[in-house]
Amino acid sequence: MSRSTRTLDDILYPPLEPLRSGHLQVDGRHSLYWETSGNPAGIPVIFVHGGPGAGTSPRSRRYFDPARYHIVLLDQRGSGQSTPLGDCQDNSTDRLIADFEQLREMLGIERWLVFGGSWGSTLSLAYAQAHPQRCLGLVLRGIWLGTQEEIDWWLYGVRNIFPREWEAFAGFIPEAERGDLLGAYQRRLTHTDPAVYLPAARAWARYEGACIYLRPQPESVAAMTDDTAALGMGRLEAHYFAHQAFLRPGQLLDGVPAIRHLPAIIVHGRYDVICPVRYAHALADAWPQARLVVVPDAGHSSYEPGIAAELVAATDRFAATGRLV
């Protein structure tokens, strides 16, 4: 079967059910959904989801050979099945990193492979740089370094590629407020009235969903604009954008020396509009020991066949050899 005719189900491992699941109470406010699947004696791997706020899904388990991996999924604060949904209070990058450590210790895992895409790549890099001794390696996809330049691109620059989609996104906001789209959306997303925050969340998610694939996927837009998914992503993305992902300028590139010794692969779609490929090259330039794979026929989503194939090949390679390069 040629690469061009392979479907996502041809590439990913078959669906599987969790072995264990539960909620981890990380403070007086946040309770985080977690689960494990695959082989409890296998290589531990933590799936770091994107967004922020997107949460995990059953497909998140399928990038890993269940016979060789102990697969750990976690819905970050305010995301997915974690509660409270869309809650921005006590929600920052440092707290998410601490949550990973609390979950790792609870599960009795000494070190794990860190697998993250989009915002998940940001958080994976921040986590690994804070706790390199707890990482076996990194599989990163759709690099986002959390810079103001990248935030401005998402809010305004994408109109150069998806003008009608951006016009709908900006047009949701009254003209007098469009000079600060982030502030205008954040005021609505954090409003107490569902009649105010839900339409704003749907408009935010519709914009992102329309731009995420190389080829339009209407079903993806429909899934992302579901009220639960839209609220988690809209509120938390705006929250993290407003705080530059709670990172110092240049933090993730400056922190590469702490993780330079770890096996790593960077997978990025050539036509990724959400996270332009130049930032993947910037990370690879700072980290020449990592392997950069630019998928020529893909946008941003990990569910595009070319990207999924590279991610599965990477986890298979690591399971077989302990290397990603």
Q: In terms of DSSP H, where are the helices of the chain?
A: 8-11, 93-107, 119-130, 148-155, 163-171, 181-189, 194-211, 218-224, 227-242, 251-254, 278-286, 305-321
Query: Choosing from 118, 124, 301, 302, which is the catalytic residue?
Result: 118
Query: Choosing from 65, 87, 99, 272, which is the catalytic residue?
Result: 272
Annotated catalytic, 239?
Answer: no
What is the rounded radius of gyration, in angstroms, for the C-alpha atoms of the chain? Answer: 19
Handedness of CA 193, 195, 196, 198 (dihedral sign): positive
3-state SS of the chain: helix, strand, coil percent to 5? Answer: 50, 15, 35
Annotated catalytic, 272?
Answer: yes
Dihedral of the CA atoms 85, 234, 58, 294 (nearest 10)? -150
Q: Are strands 43-48 and 69-74 parallel, antiparallel or unpaired?
A: parallel
Q: Are strands 31-38 and 20-25 parallel, antiparallel or unpaired?
A: antiparallel
Starting at the edge strand found earlier in the chain, the sheet holding 112-117 runs: 20-25, 31-38, 69-74, 43-48, 112-117, 135-141, 264-269, 291-295
Query: Choosing from 70, 131, 268, 300, which is the catalytic residue?
Result: 300
Active site residue ranges: 118, 272, 300
